[in-house]
């Protein structure tokens, strides 16, 4: 790309220069919205060679988003043509590429260039990339995603396996799976989608379950040609559908933050009915039955997981893994499960955020130190003494079973109100005050006590103390909070 792409079409004199880190859902959103505001002096840094973030990285068979596509899309870019209620991952990736293309943001993107460090000095952020490129910007928007860095499990002998092994987010498409013996470790959303997609193709599929999951049956009908035509002809219908879905997800969002609520009981009942009604063998049913409350771990949605795991060539292995050997997995009962391909659907390092990028704030403070105990930020957006550095989908935000697109859109609009103060010349540096962050965090930690996430299970929501690192209030409260920054919560210089 053009070396000077970031400077191309610079905004008005005095307007800030921005760096957006990451060209996934939130990075594309930021670029579109900056352009819309007439702020064209920005560069998007993307370490990969395509846009799409998680939808670029994850290409495993069965990948889809369990938020309906008419909700999991930008409010400013509704799409009439979604193929299914829950569209497949490739289609979602295509959607993000399409939005990026339509808004011509490619010319602002430095592909294949990873930001390795961001240092605040003399009132500006100094960026350095792996390729040795340097940049100076007034505002940094970290749109680096939530679940990004694969978590490779600590299982003895992992390197001894002589077949093909990879993490679910690093799918090796060179490997033929048809007729092969495939092992999958993990029973999160990823593994469940994969089991349904693979069982009809592979010779033998073994799913290694450490913890059983509650599964909500979510049918995934295709949209008919007539339905899609109707959406195209009457875009108001798209808006209505989105409003209905928002309402439905709001009910769920309210339920999970109140473990005792009738709505939560309804979700639990629906999961129980799915298990009872759809797993025929009582012994298998009991092995699939979790011993904790539904939605304590992130709820799994699937139209057909139970059907898939009951296929004759599928096996649910609940015996603990002892070690991995050249030929496969040895379980604690001494049995060797032999495979050609082993997939680690073992999740992500949920507390990494933009790290390992080095971020140095005011007076040489390193983010690594500030976050030594665990990541924190005021409203997931701003870190004290890291001025003009804003995160989308940062720590402790609303990440449970709803559209992260709406979250990012709300956060971006909030950030722009802070940026407007910089543009108006009211100040040169803005970051949350330590006091505001601490008060918010204290209230948050108190509120998580009412949520379903603390009802007795292990999940990636929990931090090192066992406290959910999640927004613990209703989604409406989040919307209200995002309406406007509270002036007293920020420090201005
Ligand atoms: P995950 O939910 O963190 O699940 C990881 C799985 O690996 C768990 O079953 C875990 O068992 C197991 N595991 C980890 N280490 C293990 C070990 N040493 N031995 C045996 N088992 C081990 O990861 P994920 O399925 O990739 O999903 C992560 C998140 O991505 C989801 O929660 C969701 O937010 C998002 N996601 C969303 C969609 C969607 O449709 N929107 C699809 C895929 C993923 P334990 O349960 O015992 O810890």
Residue nearest ligand 1's atom 20 by CA: 210
Give the up-direction half-sphere exposure of residue 29: CA atoms within 13 A in the CB hemisphere.
Answer: 29
Q: Is the dihedral of CA 173, 28, 144, 49 positive or negative?
A: positive
Cβ–ligand 1 contact at 377 (below 6 Å): no
The predicted pLDDT at position 2 comes to 37
The pLDDT value given to residue 1: 36
pLDDT of residue 113: 96
pLDDT digits (tens, 9 = 90+) for 66-91: 999 999 999 999 999 999 999 999 99
State yes or no: pLDDT of 8 exceeds 50: no
pLDDT of residue 12: 65
pLDDT at 4 over 80: no
321 lines ligand 1 (CB under 6 A): yes
Q: How far is the CA of 459 from the centre of ligand 1 (A)?
A: 8
- Positions of E strands within 27-114: 42-46, 109-111
Cα 343 to ligand 1 centroid, rounded to whole Å: 12
Query: Which ligand 1 atom minimizes the distance to the CA of 457?
Result: 46
Interval between CA 156 and ligand 1 midpoint (Å) = 19
Supply the pLDDT for residue 93.
Answer: 98
pLDDT at residue 402, rounded to an integer? 73
Between the CA of 339 and the centroid of ligand 1 the distance, in Å, is: 21
Nearest alpha carbon to residue 165 among 179, 147, 152, 149: 152
pTM, 2 dp: 0.95
Whether 55 is in the pocket of ligand 1, judged by its Cβ within 6 Å, is no
Q: How far apart are CA 457 and CA 305, in angstroms?
A: 21
Question: Does residue 220 line the site of ligand 1, with CB under 6 A?
Answer: no
pLDDT average, residue stretch 364-380: 97
Q: pLDDT tens digit string along 128-152?
A: 999 999 999 999 999 999 999 999 9
pLDDT digits (tens, 9 = 90+) for 88-107: 999 999 999 999 999 999 99
Q: Is the pLDDT of residue 7 over 60?
A: no
Q: Report how many helices (DSSP H) and strands (DSSP E) the chain contains, helices first.
A: 13, 21
pLDDT the model gives residue 178: 95
CA of 409 to the centre of ligand 1 (A): 26
Q: Output the pLDDT for position 248.
A: 92
Protein residue closest via CA to atom 8 of ligand 1:
186
Q: pLDDT band for position 13 (50/70/90)?
A: low
How do residues 169-226 score in pLDDT, each as one tens digit? 999 999 999 999 999 999 999 999 999 999 999 999 999 999 999 999 999 999 999 9
CA atoms of 44 and 80, how far apart (whole Å):
28
How many whole angstroms from 299 Cα to the centroid of ligand 1?
Answer: 11
The pLDDT assigned to 315 comes to 98
Quick: pLDDT tens for 394-411: 999 998 767 899 999 999
């Amino acid at each position: 790309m053009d070396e000077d792409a970031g400077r191309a079409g610079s905004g008005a004199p005095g307007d800030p220069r921005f760096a957006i880190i990451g060209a996934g859902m939130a990075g594309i959103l930021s670029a579109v919205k900056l352009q819309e505001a007439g702020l064209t002096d920005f560069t998007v840094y993307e370490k990969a060679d395509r846009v799409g973030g998680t939808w670029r990285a994850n290409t495993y068979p069965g990948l889809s988003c369990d938020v309906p596509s008419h909700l999991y899309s930008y409010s400013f870019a509704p799409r009439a043509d979604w193929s299914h209620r829950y569209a497949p991952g490739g289609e979602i990736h295509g959607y993000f590429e399409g939005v990026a293309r339509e808004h011509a943001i490619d010319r602002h993107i430095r592909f294949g260039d990873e930001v390795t460090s961001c240092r605040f000095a003399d009132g500006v952020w100094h960026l350095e990339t792996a390729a040795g490129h340097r940049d100076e910007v007034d505002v940094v928007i970290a749109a680096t995603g939530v679940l990004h860095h694969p978590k490779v499990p600590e299982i003895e002998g992992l390197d001894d396996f002589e077949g093909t092994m990879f993490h679910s987010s690093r799918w090796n498409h060179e490997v033929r799976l048809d007729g092969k013996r495939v092992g999958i470790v993990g029973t999160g959303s990823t593994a469940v989608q994969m089991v349904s997609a693979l069982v009809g193709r592979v010779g033998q599929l073994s799913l290694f379950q450490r913890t059983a999951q509650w599964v909500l049956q979510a049918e995934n009908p295709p949209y008919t040609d007539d339905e899609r035509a109707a959406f195209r002809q009457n875009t108001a219908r798209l808006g209505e559908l989105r409003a209905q879905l928002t309402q439905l997800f709001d009910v769920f969002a309210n339920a999970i933050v109140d473990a005792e609520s009738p709505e939560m009981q309804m979700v639990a009942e629906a999961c129980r009915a799915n298990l009872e009604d759809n797993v025929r063998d009582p012994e298998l049913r009991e092995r699939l039955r979790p011993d904790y409350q539904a939605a304590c771990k992130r709820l799994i949605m699937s139209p057909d997981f139970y059907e898939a795991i009951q296929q004759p060539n599928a096996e649910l292995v609940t015996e603990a893994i002892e070690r991995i050997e050249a030929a496969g997995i040895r379980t604690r009962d001494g049995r060797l499960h032999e495979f050609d391909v082993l997939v680690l659907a073992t999740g992500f390092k949920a507390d990494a955020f933009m790290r390992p990028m080095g971020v140095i704030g005011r007076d040489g403070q390193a983010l690594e130190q500030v976050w030594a105990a665990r990541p924190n930020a005021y409203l997931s957006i701003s870190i004290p003494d890291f001025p003009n550095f804003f995160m989308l989908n940062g720590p402790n935000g609303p990440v449970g079973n709803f559209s992260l697109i709406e979250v990012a859109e709300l956060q971006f609009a909030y950030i722009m109100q802070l940026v407007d103060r910089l543009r108006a010349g009211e100040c040169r540096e803005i970051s949350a005050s330590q006091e505001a962050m601490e008060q918010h965090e204290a209230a948050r930690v108190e509120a998580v006590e009412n949520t379903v996430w603390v009802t007795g299970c292990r999940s990636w929501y929990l931090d090192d103390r066992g406290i959910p690192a999640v927004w613990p209030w209703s989604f409406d409260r989040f919307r209200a909070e995002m309406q406007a920054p509270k002036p007293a919560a920020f420090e201005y210089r």
